[in-house]
Amino acid sequence: MPELPEVETVKEVLKTKILNKKIVDVKIFYEKTIEYPKVDEFKSKIINQQIVNIHRRGKWLMFELNDYYLLSHLRMEGKYNIKKTTEALDKHEHVVFVFDDKEELRYRDTRKFGKMNLVIKKEIYDFPVLKKLGLEPDDDNLTVDYLKSKYKKKNLPIKSVLLDQQIIVGIGNIYADEILFLSKINPLKQAKKLTKQQLQLIIDNTRGVLKRAIKAGGTTIRSYTSSEGVHGRFQQELLVHGKENEPCPQCNTPIIKIKVGGRGTYYCKNCQKM
DNA sequence: AGTGCGACCCGAACGC
DNA sequence: TGCGTTCGGGTCGCAC
């Protein structure tokens, strides 16, 4: 599923392919993908805009247009592909941006969970979904003191808190398990009970894991197969996620799977003791 | 304010 | 084989 490294990879690939292209039409086959503004307004505003640049904030892909940002969240299965206008439409292609050169950017999403928003440039950082986001993993302000202040009232298990995008952005279910394994922290440990050393490990391993995953082009796992030119190789480097009953790479104890906050969670009960 | 949980979706995996 | 059921995953909104 697209977490920060997947979105970063999609952004970089799309930048090599669609920069400066002009949108001459938009076809919307599943209207609920468009969250804001209303579909008609979305269409009329985006037509004749060019793709000036592409950015990322957390798991949001940000297409910079002349006057707007198109914010796109892939959720679990959203993908982008570039195709010729003559190619047949796939049943999971819900939004199609037609360019002036007979090519199209197609948004494909089997589960239909992904969302798009079109926001005037100067209002972008006041837009609710971006405004409430926490720090990027590589932000210098991400320190032990920052985490301590954010975690001090959190009775929830650290696994759940790592997924909270209002504290650190970009971590999803897969990388949360990897980060905790590398930090030798039990996923059920209450966030507010972590020591300063453990918080430092979380910071270091968050940066390390995400950086390595970006280098590998993200993780292609289960249903998340590929976007345009994106075939993540990081799954080959996963240590515990999805490895139920397989030996721990550190101590050979079988990896166990539990539910934490409703999410499948993999860990080594020997290496990650309470 | 913090927490828990259903809703949103549908293909894949599982159980019989 | 076929059919029904369960699962998963990010985020929001609502109840407590």
In whole angstroms, B5 C1' to A53 CA is: 39
Q: Judge contact between A78 and A108, C-beta under 8 A.
A: yes
Domain ranges of chain A: 4-130, 144-267
Q: Which residues touch strand B (CB under 7 A)?
A: A 32, 92, 110-113, 153-156, 160, 223, 261-262
Closest protein residue to B5 using CA and C1' atoms? A262
pTM (predicted TM-score): 0.92
Nucleotide nearest A111, CA–C1', reads B9
Query: What pLDDT, on the 0 to 100 scale, is given for residue A6?
Result: 83
Residue pair A38/A119 in contact (Cβ under 8 Å)? The answer is no
Burial class (CB in 10 A: 0-12, 13-18, 19+), A125: exposed
Catalytic residues of A: 2-3, 59, 263
Report the distance from CA of residue A112 to the C1' of nucleotide B9 in Å, as an integer: 6
Protein residue closest to B7, using CA and C1'? A113
Residues of chain A with pLDDT under 50: 221-225, 229
pLDDT of residue A224: 39
Cβ(A53)–Cβ(A19) below 8 Å: yes
How far is it, in rounded angstroms, from Cα A255 to Cα A247? 6
pLDDT tens column, A250-263: 999 999 999 999 89
pLDDT at residue A221 in the model: 42
Distance in angstroms: CA A177, C1' C10:
16
- A3, closest nucleotide (Cα–C1'): C10
Does the bond joining A254 to the residue before it have cis omega, within 30 degrees of 0? no
* H or E element at residue A259: strand A256-260
How far is the C-alpha of A43 from the C-alpha of A76, rounded, in Å? 25
Residue A219: its pLDDT value, please?
Answer: 58
Does domain A4-130 fall under CATH 3.40.630.10? My reply is no
Chain B: positions less than 7 Å from a protein CB are 1-5, 8-12
Q: How far is CA A28 from CA A37, A94, A193, in A?
A: 13, 6, 48
d(CA A98, CA A236): 36
- Residue closest to sugar C1' of C12 by CA: A129
Q: Quick one: pLDDT at residue A232?
A: 60
Nucleotide nearest to A58 (CA to C1'): C10
Tell me the pairing of strands A263-267 and A256-260: antiparallel
List protein-proximal bases of chain C (any atom < 7 A from a CB): 7-12
Cβ(A212)–Cβ(A234) below 8 Å: yes
CATH of A144-267, one of 1.10.8.50, 3.40.630.40, 3.90.1300.10, 3.50.50.60: 1.10.8.50
Report the pLDDT value the prediction gives residue A77, as an integer from 0 to 100.
Answer: 86
CA A271, A148, A4, A111 torsion-angle sign: positive
- Check residue A59 and give its pLDDT: 92
Helices (H) and strands (E) in chain A, counts: 7, 11
How much is the pLDDT for A228? 57
